[in-house]
Amino acid sequence: MIEHIEDPTEEMKTIAVFGDGLTIRHIKNPTEAQKLHAVVQNGHALKYIENTTEEMKIIAVLKNGHALRYIKNPTEEMKIKAVQKMGGALQHIENPTEEMKLSAVIQNGYAIQHIENPSEQVQLAAVRNHTCKQKAVLRMIANPTIRVLNFCNLEINWKLNGF
């Protein structure tokens, strides 16, 4: 709506980004406070903001891990926070560390689909994730280790036998 107002006041702009952070794309020369309010409301607002601060970037990935895609050269801290918020944000990280991979699958076991040759520790963390269907996660692992396969069979047998 702000885009339809000729010469909006600063207060109008601020209220607009409070309601919808993506409104920032229609605001010429937003203040630092307006930029901050925009990413607090919607992490994807980062896409439309020039000259972002480290604080804005951190807030954006804490709000929505996928906002990481809008950050050039994100810090390790930003990457970790992004995958801890949304495991799928791993897809936006080039050469993720083992810690990032592990954090991602702990948050969302399905994030394993974004990992080429996951370690046994990462595989186990993914299939142990209680928010995911174990068989579906297992199918996403190209070469599961024997230990991972055994864990899944034990879990399946455990559930089938009513324990």
- Which phi and psi angles does 132 have, rounded to 5°? -120, 160
Which domain, by its residues, includes 27?
Answer: 1-72
pLDDT of residue 47: 96
CA dihedral in degrees (91, 95, 100, 105; nearest 10)? 50
Q: Where a domain ends, among 25, 45, 72?
A: 72
Query: What tokens were used for 156?
Result: 């399946």
Assigned domain for 127 exists: yes
158 and 95, same structural domain?
yes
Residue that is last in its domain, among 20, 42, 72? 72
HSE, CB side, 13 Å, CA atoms: give it for residue 139. Answer: 5
- DSSP H or E stretch at residue 16: helix 10-19
Residue 9 lies in a domain: yes
Which pLDDT score is estimated for 163?
Answer: 39
Tell me: do 19 and 62 sit in the same domain: yes
Cα 3 from Cα 23, distance rounded (Å): 8
pLDDT in tens, the chain (163 residues): 788 888 888 999 999 999 999 999 999 999 999 999 999 999 999 999 999 999 999 999 999 999 999 999 999 999 999 999 999 999 999 999 999 999 999 999 999 999 999 999 999 999 998 778 888 999 999 889 989 988 888 555 545 554 3
Do 154 and 121 fall within a single domain?
yes
Residue labelled with tokens 């600063």:
10
Of 50, 48, 127, 44, whose CA–CA distance to 86 is shortest? Answer: 44
Q: Which among 89, 91, 133, 94 is positioned nearest to 107, based on CA atoms? A: 89
Q: Quick count: other Cβ atoms within 10 Å of Cβ 137? A: 24
Residue type, 157: N
